[in-house]
Structure 1
């Protein structure tokens, strides 16, 4: 179908078909739903007005880009969405020439747009290319957006920014008036009139300038675009995001302005699927579900690590009023929703602002409180400077609880929680530890609550890899726990979820192995490791983390420091590459990390060393 030669009615029918396909595939595969349904008309209008082969189409986070994928040659492959070896749930340039940039974290789009606009200007292509950015209102809560807008408003590069506002309802009378005003504000006549008025006022001296300025300021006080206009960026809107003809008209006029323009578009989350319409977090990202009822597919009966964390923190918070906490726009995903309801004055969602979360919690720690900063491992990367500068430099007792550490499955490269050990281990005053199961998690939380320095504990998405693990002992600073000991030459060292992986791998071996729950990777239990080096010469490390700078690196550094040369170390951590998306078990199988595969690798390595 040639979008640019289609009638509005044909395009509206196309939107309906796109929604049907998104619902069919997401109900089967899982994925992002409410926001991508709401953005369908916007994306169809973008493709009608612009050319995604030459105009950079930049989607913030890009979880709302499913319609874009369907319109750019991936309809037949859409069944593989988020599946192993299938298409990604985010934009990905090596998947399609129509995808300008990899995106998975929020609030990067306008910065990318500014960079693209600079390149276009340097190449002299401003008459034929323009960056088109689509960003949601949630992403506008992050500071990086305003850093980019600040420069854009100063340099005036041509760019069209579509602000997809899906939190406001669209009232028909207001929508009709706003469409009329938006169209007028974007028209060549209005822009020409504005320029001529400015020239006219320039010729009538200071008093005319004063009157015009006061009138302008008064008008801006009642317009929603005051912030953007003050930053030097043209504002158009609000526009009804489900009125295709209006959207196309406004985007065409915004394109013709050859200026930085924000088009404020109001959409309804879940549009076209009544069960999800208007809902907030529940339908943002979903697992497989029944289309007719909206009921989720049967979930695992095992308790998730997030649920254990929530229960442990709730228990601590009920007994200690000094315990506070924050999350960055993920209260349900991190298990803080119940605490925010029970203790609204002590637990906060600070929006998509990880840097702010870290620094504000540091100030609370300075004032004598005990903050639990609860953030996905992948998102803590965004607050790294603040961890160093505002928490660790001051040696403040902030607890960083890192959810979704390790492979996270279908979200893929942008979300894998693999780097936290590597980047936190280098920071002075930081202590790193990890639980292996439910009981040790409660013990780790009890330790964290009374610890008087910065610390971080990590735990996986979903359930722990438990395998009849021995009784957990209470956590003590820098103390490991030997779970199995024998005269074998082989030592399995597990960290966090890696302990269960080590145990399950050992079950596939005929040879005997000793197993250590390392518990702390910084600082290490050096006394225990020295003792074990006298008994075991072949050490194997199990941890859901990057190999470079990870647990194996820490152990090798210790052995080098102690000049222990007779011990060999093999780490089964992740290699130096980004890990693809897909079902976690399939991804681990592709990496050779399933227990039976690890056991085979151990056998081969032991045999080759004889």
Structure 2
């Protein structure tokens, strides 16, 4: 692998010393560098490969970090990181103590805005541009790079709508590759396709109608054409819009041909591009597949069932239902607010709606949960994938706040299954005719039972709402857990030589709490310990403390979970160790309690 040019580029000032004709070689080396590292260390691949030429051109033309560059979402920022002082430690990307997989303000002055969720770049860059105008800095450039999936989100439109009536020195660059994680959807995608194909007359350009100086489409892999256009736009004041056409995964054949799989392919052969397949034989199922296959099975028996996901058909496994019955399962694009209220509208008409949204992304639709669903007591079934600590994606993606932000919402049931069988049973129960909305939270990763399909699939059992389960009896201390973190408790108790003193209760229902059982627990035990894989502040443990206070119970209560801090990236095991909710930490704690 040749690194003759890249090895001498530490910062964009080094890049700008090169002749323009040398930049294609830098692009080649940068692609090879990213492929070599990600093939071994894993991470997001296709998005960064698709913007190599754009990344180089931006740092070559603009005076970063004085000129402010904002990447929407940030999956595509690997090349940016390598060119801005992080080449030598890029192999620590997404690892505990290493650099973040996303732009992060505390990591580098070149990361002008922290991202991880989509569609924020235009608003952030506009805010910076307006601030620059107010400070009299009219020459500073503010550049937002956003994909065609992200620009379809409501927030992006809000930013465009405002920018068009300002004199802000803002450049919006549309990285149009017709795909986010899954293929882009919707009417805007169709419009952009018609623009790319030259079928849309310039006078009808919707971006121009918003008072942007529109240019394009431009081949985003022609680095000379991109540089030429950036230099032209650099001299134009006010809001500008550059439409670039790129290919996600550019430069690696397999990544170009299978863009969904190579978004984050895991380990692969850097030369051939072939993914190293992991044997899934005799492994427990992924929770997302338990959801996807179960909902499909239920939908085949219940014609009222509908499915919704905002741009995550593969990640949520709603793809199974979308493939089998496309008229009843909907990918609405990156539009969490719309997804929730769409589900509410469907529910008013008697439909049974499974609305699957990652826990961290449901935060973006909080008003809709309260006003459009819970206030009207519409029985929408929210399925919160990736609840808890998710690992290497870090602080922007951990689903640790959902219990706290949902627990205060009236009418809403909250359920966290202990394992995949519980998940199947609550999905079955929810479609039987609940009178309230329900949020079912489950983690990224695999369940407990490798033979769940052979032994349990389709053998659904209804779950009594609001009931807890005693998993182990004890004499002195009661451990109350919610969700799959309870399996850590079970394993830690199995590892103890004398566990008789400790009882273990599974409170799958965070709301409503099983108050009848709680009265018995508080009357029987000397102390109580709660454990969850969500934030301690406002979480399940807080609910137990509130119950104790309201009923004047005075026994000691210890709450374990995610501390009051944003947890960075690392493996789930490493992050559980940090939060002291892993098996070893619990075993040590229980041993001390017994002594």
**TM-score relative to the length of structure 1:** 0.88
Equivalent residues of 1:399, 1:454 under 8 A apart? yes
1:290 is aligned to 2:269: yes
Pick aligned residue for 1:149 from 150, 160, 166: 160
Pick aligned residue for 2:83 from 58, 66, 71: 71
1:489 is aligned to 2:464: no
Partner of 2:439: 456
> Could you list the runs of 5+ residues in structure 1 that have no partner in the other structure?
170-180, 183-218
| 1:521–1:571 Cα change, 3 Å | same
CA distance in 2 between partners of 1:483 and 1:396 (Å): 33
CA distance in 1 between partners of 2:428 and 2:451 (Å): 23
- Give, in angstroms, the shift of residue 468 of structure 1: 13
CA distance in 1 between partners of 2:224 and 2:204 (Å): 22
CA distance in 2 between partners of 1:490 and 1:385 (Å): 39
Partner of 1:337: 319
CA distance in 2 between partners of 1:362 and 1:468 (Å): 36
CA distance in 2 between partners of 1:401 and 1:118 (Å): 39
Secondary structure (helix, strand or coil) at the match of 1:543 reads strand
CA distance in 2 between partners of 1:122 and 1:35 (Å): 35
| 1:108–1:299 Cα change, 3 Å | farther
Pick aligned residue for 1:586 from 562, 566, 574: 574
- Out of 519-528 and 471-480, give the one that drifted further: 471-480
Secondary structure (helix, strand or coil) at the match of 2:254 reads coil
Equivalent residues of 1:464, 1:500 under 8 A apart? no
CA distance in 1 between partners of 2:200 and 2:258 (Å): 31
Partner of 1:280: 259
| 1:342–1:9 Cα change, 3 Å | same
Partner of 2:110: 98
What does the per-residue CA deviation read over 1:311-340, in whole Å, with 9 as the maximum and x for residues that have no partner? Answer: 211111110010001001010000101100
Partner of 2:206: 227
CA distance in 2 between partners of 1:344 and 1:71 (Å): 43
- Give, in angstroms, the shift of residue 40 of structure 1: 0.4
- Out of 94-103 and 412-421, give the one that drifted further: 94-103
Pick aligned residue for 2:71 from 59, 62, 66: 59
Alignment of 1:12-411 (within 5 A): 12-127=24-139, 129-167=140-178, 222-223=201-202, 226-291=205-270, 292-298=272-278, 301-411=283-393
- Give, in angstroms, the shift of residue 8 of structure 1: 2.8
Pick aligned residue for 2:560 from 572, 588, 592: 572
1:600 is aligned to 2:588: yes
Equivalent residues of 2:420, 2:449 under 8 A apart? no
RMSD of aligned residue pairs (Cα, Å): 2.3
- Give, in angstroms, the shift of residue 454 of structure 1: 0.6
- Give, in angstroms, the shift of residue 152 of structure 1: 0.5
Partner of 2:396: 414
What does the per-residue CA deviation read over 1:515-560, in whole Å, with 9 as the maximum and x for residues that have no partner? Answer: 1111111110100111111211221112111101101001111111
1:550 is aligned to 2:532: no
| 1:536–1:465 Cα change, 3 Å | farther
Equivalent residues of 1:165, 1:266 under 8 A apart? yes
CA distance in 1 between partners of 2:473 and 2:40 (Å): 46
Equivalent residues of 1:304, 1:462 under 8 A apart? yes
Secondary structure (helix, strand or coil) at the match of 1:332 reads helix
| 1:32–1:378 Cα change, 3 Å | same
CA distance in 2 between partners of 1:467 and 1:521 (Å): 27
CA distance in 2 between partners of 1:404 and 1:72 (Å): 31
CA distance in 2 between partners of 1:48 and 1:232 (Å): 28
- Give, in angstroms, the shift of residue 288 of structure 1: 1.8
- Give, in angstroms, the shift of residue 358 of structure 1: 0.1
CA distance in 2 between partners of 1:484 and 1:318 (Å): 37
Secondary structure (helix, strand or coil) at the match of 1:410 reads coil
Equivalent residues of 1:465, 1:501 under 8 A apart? no
**TM-score relative to the length of structure 2:** 0.90
Partner of 1:447: 429
Equivalent residues of 1:8, 1:244 under 8 A apart? no
- Out of 231-240 and 285-294, give the one that drifted further: 285-294
What does the per-residue CA deviation read over 1:90-124, in whole Å, with 9 as the maximum and x for residues that have no partner? Answer: 00111111111110000000000110001111111
| 1:527–1:159 Cα change, 3 Å | same
Equivalent residues of 1:373, 1:400 under 8 A apart? yes
- Give, in angstroms, the shift of residue 280 of structure 1: 3.3
CA distance in 1 between partners of 2:167 and 2:206 (Å): 16
Greater radius of gyration (CA): 1
| 1:7–1:462 Cα change, 3 Å | same
CA distance in 2 between partners of 1:221 and 1:336 (Å): 34
Pick aligned residue for 1:528 from 505, 517, 522: 517
| 1:263–1:223 Cα change, 3 Å | same
CA distance in 2 between partners of 1:230 and 1:467 (Å): 56
Equivalent residues of 1:491, 1:514 under 8 A apart? yes
CA distance in 1 between partners of 2:204 and 2:404 (Å): 43
CA distance in 1 between partners of 2:557 and 2:461 (Å): 26
